[in-house]
Chain A
Amino acid sequence: MNNKIITRIGLLLLVGTLSSCGYSLRETYDGDAYNSPVFGENYYRHYDASIDPNNANNSIDSTREVNLTTSEQRVAIKYEEASLFDNAIPEDPNDEGKTIGGVKKLRYLEMGAKDDPSQIGTVYGPTKKMASNDEMFSYGYVSKLFDGQMFCNGYYQLSRVQIDEGGFGVVFEKEVSSQAGAYFALNFKAAGNYINEPTKVVAAHKSAIVLHIGFYLRNGKGFDKVNVSYQIDEVPTNGSEGRKGYIFFAFKLDTINIMRCAGISVSYDLLNDAEYTGNPEIEHSLMLYEMLLPKTIWR
């Protein structure tokens, strides 16, 4: 052992320390973030600056609109009113509503069930989750959308991302390098609340929304946005916690190019709601549970 070796070890340690990038600490929160008993305090409204529509200096160079409501691109959408969400999820959105061999089923997952190794490979969420696609999806608040937990039993404040019409948008380190056979899927439900009367429960009803999914494709310095929209006329909307009223919404990406996509946003427009429209006393939100991009490769 000579001084050179010691110097090298010391330098290695120094370099390691200096290269500390605080990967886990990039997004930290005080205590129970977005887990307030006050409904209005749980909205996740974060947009990364480069794709923030309210930021005049954002890096969005162009926007292309894709309206799925009027296009020939078929959309798979499943409503679930029952307490157990046990219907088949079509692997191919063109097989809307079909049960495929009884295999590819969404199973109701209890809180924390994703930790159970016996579930791996047997259920839709844990096998298709984005966190399995790349480690970067495991970090940050939106990792709630990438953890494979499609829905849960009443403890939804621990797993949901609650948005208002403005939604949220995040940019990732890596970008889509392959989208062969890929599709986009989102599991969500709608909820409402009386702003000044939190104990008053809104009756279950249907509302109409236009859902916007933004894909931000890198073009060198900035982004080209592809805004995919789809109108859903009958979104089950509840005024209390529960397992009812989930929507599984999916569309194929064969005609929509998301190559070099490095960011995603979700927002919506509330079109019509018998209870909410025009009433400033009540607020409408979407509870997002899981977002999936199966078969995409990120590099």
Chain B
Amino acid sequence: MEKTDDTNLKTNEVETPKKVENKNNGPLISFFVFELLAITAFTLSSSVLLYGVLSLLSLIFVVFFGIKDLKVRQMSDFFIFLIPITIFALLTSISKFSQTNVAQLLNIFSFVAVLAFAFIGYFSKRVKEFKISTALMVIYGALAALVFISLILTMIHYIPFYPFIYGGKIFYYNGDPYPAYADAKMLIGFTFGDVSLEYFSLFSTLLFTSVIALRFLSPKNNKQEFILYSIYAGLGFISLLFTVNIMSLITNLFVVLFLLFLTFYPKKGKPITVLRIIFYVLLGVILVLFILFFLNAQSEWASVASLQNLLSSNHLTNKFFNGNHISLAIKQLLDGSLSSSWFNYQGSGYSLFVRQMFSNSLIFDSIITSGLLGIIALLTFLVLVYISLKKYYQTTVDSNVAKHSVVAFVGTFFLYSFLALDSSPETHILYIQPVTSNAMFLIVMYLIGYSYTNRKDVKQNEKEVVVHEQ
């Protein structure tokens, strides 16, 4: 945890009462955490087993060698905070629909990884030598390397702007037709693979969030950081530009809007107020849409027939609610899921066509993988994350660069997840990657753990601010 102002990095050295004095192990612990973050952000084939084992070992290392006065009682709030995601991750990892590239039983490691990353985030904040700004630099650096290699590879196989130029065209690969506008090449572990453009764009989209940092870095005073963040953001932008993807554009529009608000409403409080209004408006729109999707999907409810007719009678609403891949998949999901009291998807199980069942929207796909209990847990967790992040944003003593990057990264991930999180990323290989085994989700869990702020933390942060100001 840093006590810096973006224009005065020297204040990093101010000691905080909450930090644990550990002169011997602190740097080593920090190094291990950075390594874990780098490996994860570089994805390394999104190996569930690798993430699970590495994160668990790292957690043990951090707890035993990094935290001297571990008091479990003080962590009770954090434990409660993690209950919903624990339920969600457990249900997802044991789901018959979570057919990852490892044996079914090993999927439990994705559950382990989710919690381990959150705890590592929580604990690393309490290691004195640990700096979130360095961690972010590492995350973005590894992400940039991944995006750079994958972009070059994609451009060798395709051409810039190909999704736009080759709209509607198909090409053949191993005898099967694939849409030329929806595929990309990517570094997967130590091999190059074919992935969906939506999966590829997740990384570019998250990399582009680094543009927020530029708002708070001075090219003169923070030259090195400024250049690095410029490269990260530039690479993210070029990648997004060359591989045009509508969902990325929508997501990044919010990032740009966030940046514009921060720039044009720099006074404390105003951006929050404006963003809060936007947030609640969006939330209202999403709720209304969800209700409409829900009602529109019910094939056996005669009482909603008039609403369904109304939606299908207009060209635009018909296309939105019935006519495209996403809405069709959502419709199928909601209709098929509600026939069971447990809200579990009543599909035919894992099949060659399982890919078509997924809507590529985290919320709706969670119905398949974790049922009613899982989706309630996920939504509860998201509410808790929102509250925690809000407190963190308002009260943290971290630098502006750090706090805005953390918020942007987490927010962008979830926004993109609702729009286009591909559950079956590799186009020529059939397996289902649940969100819990997605490397970026683990990074997000780390940042959530790090940024976890409850009432006590708020008071502590306020004290630290006073000390700092004196």
A residues at B contact (CB < 8 Å): 1, 6, 9, 12-13, 16-17, 19-25, 27-33, 112, 114-115, 131, 138-141, 143-147, 149, 158-159
State whether A28 touches B166 (Cβ < 8 A): yes
8 A-B Cβ contacts within 8 A? A17-B242, A20-B156, A22-B158, A22-B162, A28-B169, A32-B177, A140-B171, A143-B174
Contacting pair B158 A25 (CB below 8 A) = yes
With the chains together, A117 CA to B266 CA distance in Å?
56
- B156 CB to closest chain A CB (Å) equals 6
A6 close to B168 (CB less than 8 A): no
Is B280 located at the chain interface by the 8 A CB criterion? no
Structural contact, B152 and A13, CB atoms closer than 8 A:
yes
Determine if B238 and A13 form an interchain contact, defined as CB atoms under 8 angstroms apart: yes
**B269 contacts the other chain (Cβ, under 8 Å)?**
no
The answer, yes or no, to whether B159 is at the interface (CB within 8 Å) is yes
- Per the 8 Å Cβ criterion, residues 309-354 of B in contact with A are 352
Query: Is B175 in contact with A149, judged by CB distance below 8 angstroms?
Result: yes
Contact: A20 with B175, CB < 8 Å?
Answer: no
Establish whether residues B155 and A20, one from each chain, have CB atoms under 8 Å apart when the complex forms: yes
**17 extra interface residue pairs, beta carbon distance < 8 Å, beyond A24-B171, A25-B157:** A16-B155, A20-B156, A20-B159, A21-B156, A24-B173, A25-B166, A25-B169, A28-B169, A29-B171, A31-B170, A138-B174, A139-B173, A140-B171, A141-B172, A143-B175, A144-B175, A146-B174
Among the interface residues B158, B175, B242, which one has the most CB atoms of the partner chain A within 10 A? B175
Stretch at the interface among B204-212, B224-232, B390-398: B224-232
Q: State whether the Cβ of B119 lies closer than 8 Å to any Cβ in chain A.
A: no
Give, as a whole number of angstroms, the nearest-CB distance from B329 to chain A. 20
| Cβ-defined contact, A27 with B171, below 8 A | yes
Partner of A25, one of B162, B174, B235, B429: B162
Contact, CB under 8 Å: B231 / A6: yes
Q: How long is the Cα–Cα vector from A9 to B169 in the complex, in angstroms?
A: 32
Q: Which of A6, A12, A146 contacts B227 (CB 8 A)?
A: A6
Chain B interface, >50% SS class? mixed
Partner of B430, one of A115, A149, A158: A115
Instruction: Kindly list chain B residues whose C-beta atoms are within 8 Å of the C-beta of A23.
Output: 156-158
A16 touches B152 (CB 8 A): yes
Query: Are the C-beta atoms of B148 and A13 separated by less than 8 Å?
Result: yes
Contact A20-B172, Cβ < 8 Å, known A13-B152, A115-B429: no
A112 with B175: CB separation less than 8 A: no
| Contact A33–B173 (Cβ < 8 Å) | no
Min CB gap A58→B, angstroms: 24
A141 to chain B: closest residue by CB = B172
B180 at the interface (CB under 8 A from A): yes
What is the CA–CA distance of A173 and B168 in the complex, to the nearest angstrom? 27
Q: Is B422 an interface residue, CB under 8 A from the partner?
A: no
Q: How far is the CB of A155 from chain B (nearest CB, A)?
A: 11
CA distance A31 to B260 in the complex (A): 41
| Leading 3 A-B pairs by shortest Cβ distance | A147-B175, A144-B175, A16-B152
CA distance A298 to B374 in the complex (A): 51
Q: Which residues 143-187 of B have a CB within 8 angstroms of A?
A: 148, 151-152, 155-160, 162, 166, 168-177, 180, 183
- CB neighbours of A22 from chain B (8 A): 157-159, 162
Contacts A25-B162, A28-B180; A1 near B227 (Cβ below 8 A): yes
Whether B169 lies near A24 (C-beta < 8 A) is no
